[in-house]
Structure formats: C-alpha cells, structure tokens
Amino acid sequence: MKRKILSALLTSSLLLIGCSDDDNTTEPVDPPVVEPPVTDPVDPPVSESVAIDEAEAVTLTLETFDTESGTLTFTLTNDADKAITDASNYQIMYFGYPISGSNNAKAWKRWHVSQSYSCDTSTEDACNGVLTETDIAGQYTFNATDLDLDSKAAAGAVEQYKVAILIHGAKASNEFELITAEE
C-alpha cells in the first residue's frame, strides 16, 4: 500500500509541475544597472618636448650646412628623444681648411681660418647671428651674418668647411663636435 500512495504522490506532483498556467504571466524584469568603475582623473598628456633649461642632456643633430652662406639647420633632443624647445644661448664657430698642407716651411702643417658667433641672454651683449626655432619642435636654423672665411685666406685656399655648435641650457649643453660639411 505504501507503494500505491507513493506512486500517486509522485504522479500528482509531476502533473502539478508540468502544468502551466497561461493566465499567470510574469512581468519582464529590468536588467540590473551596472555603474561604471571609479577611475583616477586622467593625467595630462605626456609632452613630446622639453624646454632647454629643463633638459638634463642635449643632443644636437646637424641636418644641413650651407658652406657659402653658413646657414645651418639642426635638431635638439634630450636623452628621452624629446624635442628641445626655447634654445637661445649658443656658441657657433666656422672653420675653413685647405685640402693639402701649406708649402711654406714656417706655416703650420694644418692651418685654418675661423669666424665665431655667440649669444648669451644673461648679458647685455648683442647676439651675433640669428638663431630661429622652426615650426617643427626642436628644429632650428642659424643664419650667420657676414660670414666670410675666404677673405681671411689666400684666394681659393679654403676648400673644406667645418662647424662646431654649442647650445647651452641651464642644466646641460651638447657635446663639442667639429662637423665637416657634406659636399
């Protein structure tokens, strides 16, 4: 008898579970609202340039050197390859050399002629030449006013031109390097 009662109970429970009531509809449930995570304020964008007086290192790359006018184009970067802006203090020296040494026994074996330009904004002295920052951050042009190395040597003696450029900041200057003009 217990089996009959147990079978009846099991059958009736299955019938109750399997039947659905079409009149009893459930209302749709709104999806849960998910709040966006709280984040720190956005840091300002990293600058791709640094002012000359803030640079810890200065690297100069000469791009063009016009030997007739002395016009130079160069770029300045720091040790993180960021463009250096606001450069204004400089020493620029032009050198003219012969290809061969002098035949004069009293002359130095390797003579040269030179002309210098400088600017130190901490003094009241006038700057020689014109240093201009171009539209490209970190790129500069230098125009040498009244450059004339040929007049300081015998006619036609100057055959090779070199330049040394020193750009000074409050914390660093570039390395001194004598750069030969590309022919």
Nearest CA among 97, 118, 107, 124 for reference residue 178: 97
d(CA 163, CA 65): 9
| 116-164 residue pLDDT tens | 999 999 998 889 999 999 999 999 999 999 898 888 777 777 888 899 9
What does the pLDDT read at residue 112? Answer: 80
d(CA 88, CA 84): 11
What does the pLDDT read at residue 160? Answer: 86
What does the pLDDT read at residue 98? Answer: 81
| 10-38 residue pLDDT tens | 566 555 555 555 555 667 777 777 777 77
Mean pLDDT of 38-58: 78
| 70-84 residue pLDDT tens | 999 999 999 999 999
172, pLDDT greater than 90: yes
DSSP string, 116-173: EEEE-TTSSSPPSSEEEE-SSTTEEEEE-TT--SGGGSSTT---EEEEEEEEE-SS-B
pTM of the model: 0.69
| 81-108 residue pLDDT tens | 999 999 999 999 999 888 665 566 555 5
39, pLDDT greater than 70: no
Residue 120: other Cβ atoms inside 10 A: 13
d(CA 168, CA 23): 88
